[in-house]
A and B are shown apart, each in its own frame.
Chain A
Amino acid sequence: MDKFIQVDGLVVPLDRANVDTDAIIPKQFLKSIKRTGFGPNLFDEWRYLDHGEPGMDNSKRPLNPDFVLNQPRYHGAQILLARENFGCGSSREHAPWALDDYGFRAIIAPSFADIFCNNCFKNGLLPIVLDIANIDDLFQAVTATPGYHLKIDLEQQSIIAPNGVVYRFEVDAFRKNCLLNGLDDIGLTLQHVREIKEYEARRKLEAPWLFT
């Protein structure tokens, strides 16, 4: 997994609540058996005026000029500012894969759906929760200020705005450590092989029907 330490990135605001993973990456792109290449189809139904299917040349498709990602001032954004319950619905990890492939490194929202949030951490994408008043301030600032950047420092658990305001955020200590060091969960778990085997041996005695 890629490390996440600091990001100083352009912010794009996506001003709607309950953005689901079907919207982040529609189902037709889930037929891929790869982990990469989802970026051009991120938010496909909002981003393009035509209907997208796998295998199309996305560079030739008509863009929806009203969709925020298509506005020139937000090109190259690395930080997505969102509303509550971002990433709800389907467990598809293709959603964080698409966000990552597009170039996002962090998402800031008042709340995230549980499975999506988990999937982000597995892919070096940092979901940051701030309270609604701060989110409202950020929406106002990013809309009013072309080129609005935020500096995210995971070690310090802080976001520094251009006006010097610092927003502090909480992050699970275990996940923070994994992101800072780019640690592989499976490798970490396999350090506990002996305990897993002991658990299995005990469980086989208690609930043998689970092992037939």
Chain B
Amino acid sequence: MGTQTLYDKLWNGHVVHEEHDGTTLIYIDRHLVHEVTSPQAFEGLRLAGRKPWRIASMLAVADHNVPTTDRTQGIADPISRLQVETLDSNCDELGITEFRMADVRQGIVHVIGPEQGATLPGMTVVCGDSHTSTHGAFAALAFGIGTSEVEHVMATQCLLMKKARAMQVLVEGTLGKGVTAKDLVLAVIGKIGTAGGTGYAIEFAGSAIRALSMEGRMTICNMAIEAGARAGMIAVDDTTISYLKGRPFAPQGELWDKAVDYWRTLHSDEGAQFDKVVQLDAAEIKPQVTWGTSPEMVVAVDGNVPDPARESDPVKRSSIDLSLKYMGLQPNTPITEIRIDKVFIGSCTNARIEDLRAAAEVVRGKHVAANVKLAMAVPGSGLVKQQAEREGLDKIFIEAGFEWREPGCSMCLAMNADRLESGERCASTSNRNFEGRQGPGGRTHLVSPEMAAAAAIAGHFVDVRNF
């Protein structure tokens, strides 16, 4: 076998059948399901007279359409309500485990999987959602799929795939104070571009990655897809194992010990070869702010909005022009002079307990600026919310003028009632600054929770390192 990368190990461990041309049938251990990308798959299964292959592999939750305000009245929008009810009835009919809206375990699918221990090292994890890459933080092979593939996994427990190339993103050194996992991954995307990882599975490695908590590692892997890579992953270490111990879906007793022995092997071997290696020095990374409509359009907080006149490539120049027009920004404007209207702290990228703690620490004893119309903190799950409330974080946010909401995807993609109005500018801890992503005409700047919190207080972007 020789030396193997982590990706090699995960791939080889799941091969059911391989054709001469490399087309491979890969076995899927965990299938996470949400309401938006599953109804047509359930319907397809039914029309073909098929049953799910292994119901125990499935875990379902509604997260995209759920309201983050009072839920006792249910979902007001009838189309959203129907989609959630369709998931409920599909799960009821087939006996699939689902965390309903009133269940304290409900939350964003990529928060609850790890939180429950439903995501484990060495697993293949899929979901009809591109941010499934998040689960790779546990040394799982985790990636987003379309609805046809959701149906394929339901029907066969497998997917037809070709192996991707392997990229290592090596980050050595120590992140500075006020510089987070979010800044690290935005810096990676800024360096390799949103298509830099296309066709690759990325392993994040190096001392800066090993120093991160599981929450930070999830933030990193979550945004692998924003660099174009379907899967991001990080080797198992003590941090991984201690996070998982005692989680409801994690093994216990003798099985736990056996599992841990296996998990300890889930790292790239010394000298393993990657198709591409990208290196960053953690100490050089500053807090990042996106200025455009693609996550690669990012700059350090002490930088300026770029000038398209200085770009020689016509396609890139046109992209900058279009972005600046949409974003309502002038070339060469210092980032710290950009004033904001709304603040969103949440999403599968940054709505875990550590994110909320960090943001709360920044706003403690201060108040949201007068020009900020709305600042929201949206926990990633009911359990995150409960934990935050035990620590009094809700009070810190509320006293600072934030709204403290119920868990869900919320204004990351604005499928529920939480959205930007046209022209509004938002400091957001989410993952995509695409046109219209947070509401038609809305303008998104991606930042870390600390940076979003500091912007809420100042009313414009500020360098949280000097805040």
B255 at the interface (CB under 8 A from A): yes
Which of B144, B155, B228 is A91 in contact with, Cβ under 8 Å?
B144
Q: B432 near A113 (CB under 8 angstroms)?
A: no
- Which residue of the partner chain B has the closest CB to A118? B146
Measured CB to CB, the closest approach of chain B to A35, in angstroms, equals: 5
- A188 / chain B contacts, CB cutoff of 8 Å: 160
Shortest B298–chain A CB gap in Å is: 13
Is A142 engaged at the interface, CB distance under 8 Å to the other chain?
A: no
- Whether A85 and B198, one on each chain, are in contact in the complex, defined by CB atoms closer than 8 angstroms, is yes
**Structural contact, B56 and A209, CB atoms closer than 8 A:** no
Kindly supply a per-residue 1/0 record for chain B positions 54-81, scoring 1 wherever the CB is within 8 Å of any chain A CB and 0 otherwise.
Answer: 1010000000110000000000010110
| In the assembled complex, A143 has its CB within 8 A of some CB on chain B | no
Q: How far is the CA of A76 from the CA of B318 in the complex (A)?
A: 27
Q: Beyond A33-B82, A91-B130, is A174–B199 a contact (Cβ under 8 Å)?
A: no
Cβ of B16 and Cβ of A54 under 8 Å apart? no
Question: Is there contact, CB below 8 Å, between A195 and B315?
Answer: no
Q: Are A93 and B148 in contact (CB under 8 A)?
A: yes
Q: Specify which chain B residues have a CB less than 8 angstroms from the CB of A16 in the assembled complex.
A: 318-319, 322
What per-residue 1/0 map shows which CB atoms of B305-335 lie under 8 Å from chain A?
Answer: 0000000000110110010000000000000
On chain A, the residues within 8 Å of B39 by CB distance are 33
Tell me whether B120 is interfacial, beta carbon within 8 Å. yes
Stretch with Cβ within 8 A of B (4 or more), from A3-11, A19-27, A99-107: A19-27
A201 to B434, CA, bound (A): 45
A89 part of interface (Cβ distance < 8 Å): yes
**Contacts A31-B415, A89-B434, A196-B27: A45 and B440 contacting too (C-beta < 8 A)?**
yes
Complex interface bits, A18-45 against B, C-beta within 8 A gives 1, otherwise 0: 1010110011101111110000000001
The answer to the question of B156 belonging to the interface, with a C-beta cut-off of 8 Å to chain A, is yes
**B56 x A189 contact (CB < 8 A):** no
In the complex, residue of chain B having the shortest beta-carbon distance to the beta carbon of A193: B156
Cβ of A114 within 8 Å of any chain B Cβ, yes or no, is yes
Question: Are A93 and B37 interface neighbours, CB within 8 A?
Answer: yes
In this assembly, does A210 line the interface, its C-beta being within 8 Å of a C-beta of chain B? yes
**Chain A hits for B391, CB < 8 A:** none
A157-212 interface (Cβ within 8 A of B): 172-174, 185-186, 188-190, 192, 195-196, 199-200, 203, 206-212
Q: How far is the CB of A103 from chain B (nearest CB, A)?
A: 20
Residues of A within 8 A of B262 (CB): 206-207
Contact stretch, chosen from B105-113, B121-129, B457-465: B121-129
* With contact pairs A84-B195, A113-B228, A114-B199 given, residues A51 and B440 touching in the complex (Cβ less than 8 Å): yes
Q: Is the CB of A84 within 8 A of B147?
A: no
Given contacts A33-B83, A114-B199, A195-B16, contact A212 B251 (CB under 8 A): yes
Given contacts A22-B437, A195-B17, contact A189 B146 (CB under 8 A): no
Q: For chain A, which range describes its interface: under 10, 10 to 19, 20 to 34, or 35 or more residues?
A: 35 or more
CB < 8 Å neighbour of B65 from A31, A84, A186? A31
> Would B195 and A85 count as touching, CB distance under 8 A?
yes
Q: A58 in the interface, Cβ–Cβ < 8 Å?
A: no
- Residues 60-74 of A, flagged 1 when their CB comes within 8 A of B and 0 if not, give 000000000000000
- Tell me whether B123 and A89 are in contact (CB under 8 A): no
Q: For window 189-237 of chain B, which residues contact chain A by CB distance below 8 Å? A: 194-195, 198-199, 225, 228-230
On chain A, the residues within 8 Å of B195 by CB distance are 18, 84-85, 88, 111, 113
Q: Which residues of A contact B54 (CB under 8 A)?
A: 200
Which residues of A are found within 8 Å of B157, using beta-carbon distances? 196, 200
Provide the bound-state CA to CA distance between A114 and B255, in Å: 36
Do the beta carbons of B37 and A23 come within 8 Å of each other? Answer: no
B414 in the interface, Cβ–Cβ < 8 Å? yes
**A189 near B156 (CB under 8 angstroms)?**
yes
B23 contacts partner chain A, Cβ-Cβ < 8 Å: yes
Beta-carbon nearest neighbor of A46 in chain B = B435
B86 proximity list for chain A (CB < 8 A): 33
**Contact in complex: B130, A22 (CB < 8 Å):** no
Report the contact-size class of chain B (Cβ under 8 Å from the partner).
Answer: 35 or more
The answer to whether the Cβ of B29 comes within 8 Å of any Cβ in the partner chain is: yes
B1 at the A interface (CB under 8 A): no
Distance in angstroms from A188 CB to nearest chain B CB is: 7
CB-nearest residue of chain A to B414: A27
Residues from chain B with a CB closer than 8 A to the CB of A185 are 148, 152, 160
Q: Is the CB of A196 within 8 A of B25?
A: yes
B258 within 8 A of A: yes
B315 touches A83 (CB 8 A): yes
Q: With a CB–CB cut-off of 8 A, which chain B residues contact A83?
A: 315
Q: Are A186 and B436 in contact (CB under 8 A)?
A: no
Given contacts A84-B315, A91-B146, are A18 and B437 in contact (CB under 8 A)? Answer: no
Cα of A164 to Cα of B160 in the assembled complex, Å: 37
Q: Which residues of chain B are near A17, meaning CB under 8 Å?
A: 315-316, 318-319
Q: Assuming A115-B144, A186-B151, A186-B152, is B432 touching A22 (CB within 8 A)?
A: yes
Among A54, A190, A208, A210, the residue within 8 A (CB) of B123 is A210
Q: Which of A17, A88, A91, A196 has the most CB of B within 10 A?
A: A91
Within 8 A of A (CB), among B119-173: 120, 122-123, 128-130, 143-149, 151-152, 155-158, 160, 162, 164
- Asked if B270 is at the interface (CB within 8 A of a chain A CB), the reply is no
Verify if A92 is at the interface (C-beta below 8 Å from B).
yes
B40 lies within 8 A of A35 (CB): yes
Closest Cβ of chain B to A124, distance in Å, is 11
Q: Is A209's CB under 8 angstroms from B259's CB?
A: yes
Residues of A within 8 A of B23 (CB): 172, 174
Interface flag for B268 (CB, 8 Å): no
Q: A23-B434, A186-B151, A210-B29 are in contact. Are A192 and B65 (CB under 8 A)?
A: no
Q: 21 pairs across A/B with beta carbons < 8 Å? A: A22-B413, A22-B434, A27-B415, A31-B77, A33-B43, A45-B440, A89-B225, A90-B130, A91-B129, A91-B145, A96-B146, A119-B149, A122-B149, A123-B148, A189-B156, A192-B17, A196-B25, A196-B27, A196-B53, A196-B158, A208-B258
Q: Which 9 pairs from chain A and chain B are nearest by CB? A: A209-B251, A93-B146, A122-B148, A33-B39, A119-B146, A91-B144, A85-B195, A91-B130, A93-B147
